Chain A
Amino acid sequence: SAVISQKPSRDICQRGTSLTIQCQVDSQVTMMFWYRQQPGQSLTLIATANQGSEATYESGFVIDKFPISRPNLTFSTLTVSNMSPEDSSIYLCSVMTGPKNEKLFFGSGTQLSVL
């Protein structure tokens, strides 16, 4: 299993500012992901955080808006840049682990409200 610490748990931000979300895992993991969950919706994958290289972004998400760092196998950050009210969501980091990278674990989430 994996224990994931995600900070902050919630924040209220002003339009035009940026917020950086941190994700710390208690063990080294190869695969780490960032998801967004808009109100009343299911999860949408933002990007896969790759250690030592640029993140792989899904369609509709770009590095300028959601820069991601992954300096090592236990830590990653997601920044939500130049925020607007449409960015109000829950942001979740997750990892896949297990003998065949078959099980998904999630952090506790960051509930972001943009005014």
Chain B
Amino acid sequence: KQEVTQIPAALSVPEGENLVLNCSFTDSAIYNLQWFRQDPGKGLTSLLLIQSSQREQTSGRLNASLDKSSGRSTLYIAASQPGDSATYLCAVFSNDYKLSFGAGTTVTVRA
């Protein structure tokens, strides 16, 4: 069974600092990995999708890397802003067509 872990569970940084969020998974037989943002009491917004054959994806200030062999993905957010405050979740879509979510990292960016 795929286990997805996100560390740290919570993170507080001053505005302008770069954010590094980690996601690890136990089974490297994955189809893709997706990063989401969730605001309190709301649904999930897709940020980046990385296919298993890719090493990284970039969108604006966001960059996500994938090392399938070591079971790790990292989401980098450059020059953080208070509007980046949210919970960030990673989801792993395994080759057996199962989707597994991490518990999320709650980010607070202090003005």
B27-41 near A? 1/0 per residue, CB < 8 Å: 000011010100001
A92:B101 contact, CB within 8 angstroms? no
Interchain CB contact (< 8 A) of B45 among A10, A42, A103, A106: A106
Q: Which A residues are CB-close (under 8 A) to B46?
A: 103-106
B99 with A104: CB separation less than 8 A: yes
B102 and A42: CB pair below 8 A?
yes
- Check if A45 is an interface residue, CB within 8 A of chain B: yes
Q: Closest CB of chain B to A93's CB: distance in Å?
A: 9
Q: Please tell me if the beta carbons of B41 and A109 are within 8 angstroms of each other in the complex.
A: yes
User: Which residue of chain B is the closest to A2 with respect to CB atoms?
Assistant: B46
Instruction: Indicate whether A109 sits within 8 Å of B42 (C-beta atoms), given known contacts A103-B49, A104-B91.
Output: yes
For chain A, the bracket of interface size reads 10 to 19
Cα of A106 to Cα of B34 in the assembled complex, Å: 12
Residue numbers in A under 8 Å from B99 (CB-CB)? 45, 104
Q: With both chains docked as a complex, state the minimum distance between the C-beta of A98 and any C-beta of chain B, in angstroms.
A: 8
Contact A102–B49 (Cβ < 8 Å):
yes
Asked if residues A42 and B34 are in contact (CB atoms below 8 Å), the reply is: no
Q: Which residues of A contact B (CB under 8 A)?
A: 4, 6, 10, 41-43, 45, 90, 92, 94, 102-109, 111
Interface residues of B (CB under 8 A from A): 31-32, 34, 36, 41-46, 49, 51, 89, 91, 93, 99, 101-104
